[in-house]
Each structure stands twice: as structure tokens, then as C-alpha cells.
Amino acid sequence: MNEFGDTADIESRTVNVSSSPEEQSEEILELANGCLCCSIKDTGVAAIEKLMQRKGAFDHILLETTGLADPGPIASIFWHNEEFASGLGRDISLDGVICVVDAFFGKQQMEEDHSEDHIGESLKQIAGSDVVLLNKADLISADALADVKSLIRRINPAAPIYPTIRGDVDLARIMGISAFTSPPPLASATPTPHSHTHTPEHNHDHDEGREPTHYELRGISSLQVLCPTLSPARFDALDAWIRAVLWENRIPETSLNEPATDLLVLRCKGLITTEDGKQYVLQGVRSMYDMMEIEKDGEADIGVSPVGKIVLIGKGLDETVRRSLEKAIQ
């Protein structure tokens, strides 16, 4: 538990993941000062190493950050970090990032949030999440709840949203989800308002005259592009495109000498199919990414669509970026 302020003794009293008092065997370790992103390499890792001494006594490690935290740097510590991979990474893996949004105050927070790079922490948390829990759903009307869900989907269309009351949720929805090894879900057949799933024939006339939301004025958005079956050359072109965007914050068509843009990808996910029948899962957090081949057991993979898709979440994801990505994979 990573809290800003001396509140862990209070918070620990509100945590209950057991069905009976006899089964309550949880242990809560406090990381003081609410600065996990700064202390994870010493205090945080030490706390987890202490837990691993009791390996076999637990199934999952739940790391609760402060509500002020940026999840990107924290997730990167547990995923594709060389020091971690040679140590604790041999025993544990990152399962997913869960964000809890206050249904009553969430919309107001998203509209008021701000930071120096024009993406406030609440938006970073939603953008970097694999699952969103919309808590206090009983305190607002159905229309207000739908409005908040729509805002969340526009920020992160890849994350499922589960309304909850007092945080009551089926653990199967937030644990064992394998978010960093599974392909992202495809968009539903019924698009949400202002859906950003794009095809080469996609037309943006429906955007004309639409007033942008507050978060869109501040630059955060998501971009979804359907990905055809890729040849080896197109696969390499996509890899090069991702490197330029994530590592250099530019699309390949622009030069390093050109003025800096506001392009910044906080999270990327994707499912990619190649001509030889292989499928890859794209996962990225800030500048770190991986395209991992999906293991096949001789039978058709249930739930894995042959249709590819790439999802980017961040800022500066305009039509120029979309066209550049489509050019790389077409």
C-alpha cells in the first residue's frame, strides 16, 4: 500500500478480499510518503522481496498506489526492466493495471485535472489502465453514469469498465487477467459515440461541428487502427514506426531536426497477424514496448481474433499520425 500521508492504518481497515474471518490471511506492507515511483528500487522492491520469502503462501501481490501516482513509470519497473527481470522478475510478472474512478466526482476531476505537460494524473491513470472500476455507481443517475463511462471510453477504449458499489467486484475481473500477455479486445459491433476505430475508408465528416470535450481540448485522445495481415516487410515497417513514435516522439516522415511536436504515447496495445499465420501481442508503456508471439497449442486460440488492431493512447494523436500508421501497415 503506497499512501501519501500517514493513512495506511486507516486504509488497511477497509480492505477485505476474504469471504469469512477465518480466511483473512492478508498482510499489508506500507510504503511511506506516497512516492512509489521514486522509492520502488529500494523500499518498494525490499517490501516485495520480503513477501517473496513467503513464496507459496499467496497467489497475487496487489500494489495500491496513491491517487496522485502516474502508473506508467511504476508499471515499467515490473515489465521489461533488466534489473527486475534478473531478480524478482523470475518469480512474478505484471498482470495488469487497475484504475478506480469515482463515479460521483470523476467527471469533475477529469475536467479540472492539469499538469505541466497538459495531461493530469487522473487522465494518465485512466489511459494507462487495463481495467477501470467505476465506483460509487449508486450515487448518480443512470444518465450521469453513462456520461462518465463515455468520457472514460474516449480516453481509453481498450479497457473494460465495471460499475461498482463500495468497490464490490468479481475478483476474476481484476486478477489473473494477463493484460500484458493477451491481445486487446476488439471494439464492439455497436460503436461508442465518436469512436476512433479507423479503416482506410474511414471518413471524419461526422466530427465537423462537434464541440470537443474538456479533456480533448487538453490534448489527450485515443487512436484505433485496424491492422491487415502483415508481410515480413510490413511487420518490420510497423516495428520501425513504433520505435520512432515511442522513443523519439515523432512519426517516421518527420526529421529529428524538425521542431518538436506534442506527440506522446502513454499506452499502446495491439494484435498483429503475419502472413505466415503467426500472431503477436503488442504491449507498450511510455517508451517501453514488446511484440510477443502468441503461443499456439495446435488448436484455434479461443478469443483471439484473426483481425488485427492497434490502439494508441496519449496526446498529439491526430489525423497525421493515423495516416502515417496506416501507411506503415498497408
* pLDDT tens readout for residues 298-308: 544 555 566 78
Top-confidence residue, 41 or 74: 74
Read off the pLDDT of each residue in 157-181 and give the average, rounded to a whole number. 92
Say yes or no to pLDDT of 54 above 90. no
For residue 6 the three cell numbers come to 500517514
Predicted pLDDT at 55: 66
- How big is the CA angle at 138 (ends 191 and 196), to the nearest 5 degrees? 15
Which residue type sits at 129? S
Predicted pLDDT at 326: 96
CA distance 159 to 253: 30
pTM, two decimals, is 0.67
Q: Which of 72-76, 178-182, 277-281 has the lowest mean pLDDT?
A: 72-76
Grid cell 460521483 in the structure block, residue? 104
For residue 7 the three cell numbers come to 493513512
Sign of CA dihedral 172, 173, 179, 182: positive
DSSP notation for 53-106? TTTTS-S----PPPTT--HHHHHHHTSS-HHHHTTGGGT------EEEEETTTH
Which residue type sits at 163? P
Task: Compute CA distances 190 → 68, 127, 200, 246, whole Å.
Answer: 34, 22, 19, 31
* 54-58, 112-116, 277-281: range with highest mean pLDDT: 277-281
2-9 contact pairs (CB < 8 A, 24+): 2/31, 2/34, 2/35, 2/36, 2/44, 2/63, 2/64, 2/65, 2/66, 2/69, 3/30, 3/31, 3/32, 3/34, 3/66, 4/33, 4/34, 4/35, 4/66, 4/67, 4/68, 5/34, 6/32, 8/32
**pLDDT range class, residue 80, cuts 50, 70, 90:** low
CA proximity to 44, closest of 32, 58, 59: 32
Say yes or no to pLDDT of 113 above 80. no
